[in-house]
Amino acid sequence: MCGIVGYVGKKEAVPILLQGLESLEYRGYDSSGLAYFDEAQKKIDCFKGAGPVSCLKSQLAGIHHSGCIGIAHTRWATHGAPTQENAHPHLDNKGYFAIVHNGIIENYKLLKQDLEKRGYQFKSQTDTETAVHLWHAKNEHADAIRESFRQAILHMEGQFAFVGMGLDEPDRLFVFRRSNPLLIGLGRGENFVASDATAFLPYTNRVIYLGDDELAEVFKDHVRIYNLKSGRLIHKKSVHIDWSQEQAQKGNAPHFMFKEIHEQPEVLKKTLKQRIKNTQIIWNELRPKDLDKLKQIERILAVSCGTAYHACLASKYMFDACTGIPVSVDVSSEFRYSEQQLTRKDMVLLVSQSGETADTLAALNEAKRQGVFTLAIVNVRGSSLAREADAVIYTHAGPEIGVASTKAYTAQLMVLALLAIYLGIIRNKISKKDASAFLAQARKLPKYCLQIIQKKSAAVKSYAESLKDKPNFIYLGRGINFPTALEGALKFKEITYTHAHGYAAGEMKHGPIALIDDQLVVICIAPQSKTYEKMMNNIEEISARKGIVFSIGTEDDQRLIAKSRFFVGIPRILEIFSPILTVIPLQLLAYYVAVAKGNEVDKPRNLAKSVTVE
Ligand code: M6R
């Protein structure tokens, strides 16, 4: 989705803006642009075009840029095709103001008609251009640019974030946020604005998170924040984010996805270290009143999208095994329109890597509207979900840049498993002895995860090369590894562009069996568990129809090895933790097939890292 970068300081703005845009490329976009204040000519210069940031860079090559303030944008087209005219920034007809924008201005057509009647000429099909002309129109009657910016925003409906600059006050950026990510990075003698902290991590870790309907003036050495409605100054504290620049860079890895798969043992180790003290499970972020709520809830409704939804599905099996609390799981886009009647004893659990997924935020709003306790499990600190839910638990996976989620997923599974055990303990469903047995097994996960990555990658890579041209893949699992089948198939289709379908293995005879022939690859997730024999039956049926069996099973399971064309073994682990290990070979398989096909692994076609529109 769209990305925003702004800079004001002492250095040349253009290289900093370009670097910021490059670090936001992973979010997915189709055009890019920037504008800066040209000190020499005292005007706003703007460069933009369809295509990647590298094209923008070539446009700017050889041009001397003398400005120390600027704004930049990567656009993911919503209103109007990805063309140069529609790319941001947009300027008013006189070139006094420039603006970049994320989100949607819902009443832009009416505003546009009115502005056209007043003589404003539109050059693009975007809703954004309305904002800049409106800003200009409001400025005719305002005594300060900030006030005309505020007035313009008060006339716009929708969810959006803006960063703008005005020719008459070239020492500051004008910033606004509503339901779209935007944060301010505080440097020394320089400040930054971005939709994502990775854009300014090379310069600072100190940030101010803007809240909804907050407007800011960002100068090089200070920041003023105002409430939109009242126009009054408000005070906000800055916070330190523990993400490092290295974490947000590829380093020597061939792809971010590769790096992030390999970071999983460390992420699991860090999660366990933070969450387990001696034999206690700890939730630092939760206040006593949140912990009290957790004791009282009688039902959990887990809501999320994509990979996070698969983590929620797996969590149902974890909560069932440990707590006895009834759990229902929904994708956010269904939950938000489902008209479910919630009660005060319910808890809506929202899981998200980015914390900015539009449907999950809408689900949160619905839960809040019904007065239900909401708990978010989120990776990005200060994200909308983290700020708006009643309580938040962070996954601490570090920045995830690859569009295909890997380490965020295993971190979510780890936190959800610990939450299930914790709820089991506080509700006397799990004895002390069982709890320590659970935690002893959990502590083995980082080592086991590392073993799989180190010892199995070569085999999975060679399997991937021999399977890369197969047209269809079915992923089958049972119980807690049914969600693993869904996740394996999602990973595979999003980066290999090959049809892959996840199914509950017990459903095979109810339809998918018709697809089996000697070209169909069937990935069977069959670790030794209570559903093992049932999986073996499925495998017999697939083999009888000449399907290609690729199984993930317990290390050295000779029976399964004998029945599989391809086999990847994983260490034996308690069932509630098994999805954390079984998914690793599936991530590797998707990765190596995508590489073998020459696909853009980190930025698969048509996809964006965080889906901030419905
Ligand atoms: O940021 P979120 O966890 O809310 O994102 C949800 C999905 O958009 C995300 O998991 C998506 O399915 C990934 N591309 C999967 O790899």
Write out pLDDT tens, residues 195-236: 989 899 999 999 999 989 999 999 999 999 999 999 999 999
Q: Is 404 in the pocket of ligand 1 (CB under 6 A)?
A: yes
- Kindly state whether residues 133 and 234 are assigned to the same domain: yes
Q: Is 406 in the pocket of ligand 1 (CB under 6 A)?
A: no
Q: What is the pLDDT of residue 254?
A: 96
Q: Is 306 in the pocket of ligand 1 (CB under 6 A)?
A: yes
* Active-site annotation holds for 609: yes
Q: What CATH number does residue 121 fall under?
A: 3.60.20.10
Q: What angle do CA 160, 162, 164 make, to 5 degrees?
A: 165
Q: How remote is the CA of residue 223 from the centroid of ligand 1, in Å?
A: 33
- Kindly state whether residues 533 and 439 are assigned to the same domain: no
Q: pLDDT digit string (tens) for 336-364?
A: 888 889 999 999 999 999 999 999 999 99
Q: How remote is the CA of residue 474 from the centroid of ligand 1, in Å?
A: 21
Q: How remote is the CA of residue 308 from the centroid of ligand 1, in Å?
A: 6
Q: What is the pLDDT of residue 251?
A: 87
Question: What would the two tokens of residue 484 be?
Answer: 């693993």
* Active-site annotation holds for 46: no
- Residue with CA nearest ligand 1 atom 14: 404
Are 182 and 175 spatial neighbours (Cβ–Cβ below 8 Å)?
Answer: yes
Burial class (CB in 10 A: 0-12, 13-18, 19+), 508: buried
- Residue with CA nearest ligand 1 atom 4: 352
Pocket mutation for ligand 1, best pick of 26, 260, 305, 351 (most atoms within 8 Å of C-beta): 305
The 3-state DSSP class for residue 151 equals helix
- Kindly state whether residues 461 and 414 are assigned to the same domain: no
- Kindly state whether residues 126 and 257 are assigned to the same domain: no
355: left (phi over 0), alpha (psi -120 to 50) or beta: left
Q: What is the pLDDT of residue 353?
A: 96
Q: What is the pLDDT of residue 50?
A: 87
The parent domain of residue 274 ranges over: 250-443
Domain final residue, candidates 180, 215, 240: 240
In a domain, 612, yes or no: no
Question: What would the two tokens of residue 258 be?
Answer: 């590769």
Q: How remote is the CA of residue 610 from the centroid of ligand 1, in Å?
A: 7
Are 511 and 501 spatial neighbours (Cβ–Cβ below 8 Å)?
Answer: no
d(CA 331, CA 304) in angstroms, rounded, equals 5
Q: What are phi and psi of 501, to 5 degrees?
A: -130, 130
In a domain, 448, yes or no: no
Taken in order 326, 329, 334, 337, the sign of the CA dihedral is: positive
Q: How remote is the CA of residue 305 from the centroid of ligand 1, in Å?
A: 6
- Kindly state whether residues 178 and 318 are assigned to the same domain: no
Q: Is 307 in the pocket of ligand 1 (CB under 6 A)?
A: yes
- Kindly state whether residues 314 and 374 are assigned to the same domain: yes
DSSP codes, 39-55: TTTTEEEEEEEES-HHH
Question: What would the two tokens of residue 436 be?
Answer: 């320590």
Q: 606, 286, 580: which is closest to 408 by C-alpha?
A: 580
- Kindly state whether residues 427 and 464 are assigned to the same domain: no
Are 310 and 487 spatial neighbours (Cβ–Cβ below 8 Å)?
Answer: yes
- Kindly state whether residues 508 and 367 are assigned to the same domain: no
Helix axes 482-496, 578-596, angle to 10 degrees: 20
Give the pTM.
0.86
Q: How remote is the CA of residue 312 from the centroid of ligand 1, in Å?
A: 12
Q: Is 383 in the pocket of ligand 1 (CB under 6 A)?
A: no
d(CA 421, CA 484) in angstroms, rounded, equals 20
Domain final residue, candidates 207, 240, 273: 240
Domain final residue, candidates 396, 422, 443: 443
Q: How many domains does the chain have?
A: 3
- Please identify which of the residues 2, 46, 68, 305 carries the catalytic annotation: 2
- Kindly state whether residues 431 and 474 are assigned to the same domain: no
339: left (phi over 0), alpha (psi -120 to 50) or beta: left
d(CA 424, CA 525) in angstroms, rounded, equals 27
- Kindly state whether residues 229 and 196 are assigned to the same domain: yes
- Kindly state whether residues 35 and 160 are assigned to the same domain: yes
Q: What are phi and psi of 489, to 5 degrees?
A: -70, -40
d(CA 547, CA 263) in angstroms, rounded, equals 34
List average pLDDT for each run of 10 residues in the chain, which is 614 residues long.
Answer: 92 95 84 94 92 88 86 86 88 96 92 96 92 95 90 95 96 94 95 94 93 95 96 93 81 95 97 92 95 96 98 98 96 90 95 94 94 96 90 95 96 98 95 93 97 98 97 97 98 97 96 94 97 97 97 97 98 97 98 97 86 76
Residue type (1 letter), 326: P
- Residue with CA nearest ligand 1 atom 11: 306
> In sequence order, which residues have a C-beta less than 8 Å from that of residue 511 and are 6 or more positions away?
none
- Please identify which of the residues 220, 293, 563, 609 carries the catalytic annotation: 609
Which helix (H) or strand (E) segment holds residue 102: the answer is strand 97-105
Pocket mutation for ligand 1, best pick of 351, 610, 613, 614 (most atoms within 8 Å of C-beta): 610
